[in-house]
Amino acid sequence: MEELKRLNEMNTVVLTLIENNSRLWHLTNDEKLREELHKQNNLLRSKQKDIENEIKKCM
């Protein structure tokens, strides 16, 4: 149960990071920054999928 709680908290943090990066992406015109935010979001989405799979295993 403790592991499930930890995974859910991690999932929430990762989703928040994705959302914040997306917001920043829309606010900037800096192409380098946009590219970096896009890369970060791709990595975060991958991590988020891993976390979701771990959550499923705990249930």
In angstroms, the CA 40 to CA 8 distance is 20
Q: In 10 A of CB 14, how many CB atoms?
A: 20
Would you kindly state where each structural domain of the chain is located, as residue ranges? 2-58
For tokens 């149960």, name the residue. 1
Q: Please tell me the distance from the alpha carbon of residue 4 to that of residue 12, in angstroms, as a whole number.
A: 12
pLDDT in tens, 1-59: 899 999 999 999 999 999 999 999 999 999 999 999 999 999 999 999 999 999 999 98
Average pLDDT over the chain reads 97
Does this model's pTM top 0.75? yes
Q: Which two tokens stand for residue 7?
A: 């995974």
Chain position carrying tokens 């890369």? 39
